[in-house]
Amino acid sequence: MKRPRLGFLGVGWIGRHRMNAILESGEADVVAIADNNAYVASDAAKNAPNACVVTSLDELLDCDLDGVVIATPSALHPEQSIAALDRGVAVFCQKPLGRSQLETSRVIDAARRANRLLGVDLSYRFTNAIDAMRREITSGRVGRVYAADLVFHNAYGPDKPWFYDAAESGGGCLIDLGIHLVDLALWMFGDVRAYNVRGQLFVNGRPFVRDGRAVEDHAIAHIELEDGAVIRVACSWNLSAGCDAEIGATFYGTRGAVAMRNENGSFYDFTAERFEKTSRITLASPPDAWGGRAAVEWTRRLARDARFDESIASLEEVARVLDSIYEQSGGQAILPVLELSA
C-alpha cells in the first residue's frame, strides 16, 4: 500500500501530539506543516525534518497531499475541512466538526461529494476500556441495554481564550466535553436516533442564557431514544470534583451492566468492568496509550481506501442532540454560520 502524504494544519499541543503518534506508527509521511505561529510550526517540524513549513491552508494543499489533519479553533473547522475536501484531500479534524448540525452536515456533504475519507478525533472511542465495553454490548452478554449514565467533569477550564467565545467555540463544556459523551452513548446504542432531548445549562452556578458570546460551564441532559432507551449526560468545567477529572460511563442491560471510570482523577487511565448483580469482572485496565489511536486508525484506513465512509454521517445526529440542548437555553438559538464553499 502507498504511504499517505499528510499535511498538518495547527500544531499546538493536540495537533503536535497527533502528528507524533502518526510518525511513531510509521503509517504515513508528514510532508507539510502549517500554523499561524511560525515558532510553533518550526518547532514541530523538528520531528518531521522532511516536511516543508508553510503559512496557510492554501499553501499546505499545494503540497500534493493525500490527507490533512486539522487542529485549529472550532469555528475554522468547517471552512478548512470543506476547502481541503474540495481539493480532493481527505480530512481528519479535531472535534467538533462543526459548531452546529448545519455546519456538521455541510462538511459531511462535501466529503460525500468529493468521495474522500473524513474522520473526526472522537478519541475516547479508541480507548481499550470503551472497546471492551462495546464488545460486551454487541455480543449480547449484558442483554438489551436500556439506560446509560455518562459524566465528564474537568476541574480545570480550557487554557485558550477562544474556548470562552461562543462564536469561535460553538459553546462551552457541552460541545467541548459533552460531545464525547453523546457520541459514545449513541454509538454504543447502535446510532439510534434521539426523539426527546431535555437539557439544562449553567454558568457560574446560574441558569445559562445563550447570547452568542458567553459559554456554559455545566451541562445536564436527558436523552430518550427511539427504541425506548434513556441516556443521562453531565459535564462541566471548573467543577469542585475533589480531583483533576471525573470521567465515567455506565450502560445498563437486562442481564448485566458495563462501566468505565478514570483512575485517581486521571484524564488518561481508565478501567472497564462488567457487573452481574453484586459481582464485577475487569475488562480493561491501565496502561493504555490511546491518545493518538484515532488519528493512526484514520491514517491506516486512508492508505487502504481514501473513499468516503458513510458511517461518519452518525455525527449529524450527535450535532442535532447538542443543538437541541443549546436551543433550550433560550436567547440566541443558532450561532452565526460561516460562509462555506458550495
pLDDT of amino acid 245: 97
∠ CA(77), CA(231), CA(145), 5° rounding?
Answer: 115
- What is the tens place of the pLDDT at every residue in 169-215? 999 999 999 999 999 999 999 978 998 999 999 999 999 998 888 99
Q: Is the pLDDT of residue 61 over 80?
A: yes
Q: Are 200 and 217 in contact (CB under 8 A)?
A: no
Q: Is the pLDDT of residue 98 over 80?
A: yes
Average pLDDT score over the chain:
94
Instruction: Give the pLDDT band of residue 338 (cuts 50, 70, 90).
Output: very low
Cβ-based burial of 94 (10 A; exposed 0-12, middle 13-18, buried ≥19): buried
Q: Are 52 and 64 in contact (CB under 8 A)?
A: no
pLDDT of amino acid 211: 86
C-alpha span between 186 and 205 (Å, rounded) = 28
Classify domain 128-284 by CATH architecture: 2-Layer Sandwich (3.30)
pLDDT of amino acid 191: 75
Beta strand residue intervals within the chain, DSSP E: 5-9, 29-34, 52-54, 67-70, 90-93, 118-120, 145-154, 194-203, 206-207, 218-225, 230-237, 245-253, 257-262, 270-276, 279-284
pLDDT of amino acid 331: 54
- What is the tens place of the pLDDT at every residue in 275-329? 999 999 999 999 999 999 999 999 999 999 999 999 999 999 999 999 999 998 8
C-alpha span between 234 and 88 (Å, rounded) = 39
pLDDT of amino acid 44: 94
Q: Is the pLDDT of residue 335 over 60?
A: no
- What is the tens place of the pLDDT at every residue in 236-278? 999 999 999 999 999 999 999 999 999 999 999 999 999 999 9
Q: Are 336 and 210 in contact (CB under 8 A)?
A: no
Q: Is the pLDDT of residue 59 over 90?
A: yes
Domain boundaries, the chain: 5-123+293-310, 128-284
The reported pTM is 0.94
- State the cell numbers at 186: 449513541
Give the three-class secondary structure for 308: coil
Q: Are 53 and 42 in contact (CB under 8 A)?
A: yes
Mean pLDDT of 13-40: 96
Query: Which phi and psi (to 5°) does residue 248 adopt?
Result: -165, 160
Fold of 5-123+293-310: Rossmann fold (3.40.50)
Q: Is the pLDDT of residue 122 over 70?
A: yes
- What is the tens place of the pLDDT at every residue in 70-90? 999 999 999 999 999 999 999
Q: How far is residue 193 from each of residues 36, 208, 228, 315, measured CA to CA in Å? A: 39, 27, 10, 11
Q: Are 114 and 86 in contact (CB under 8 A)?
A: yes
Q: Is the pLDDT of residue 332 over 80?
A: no
Mean pLDDT of 155-174: 95
pLDDT of amino acid 210: 87
- State the cell numbers at 212: 452568542
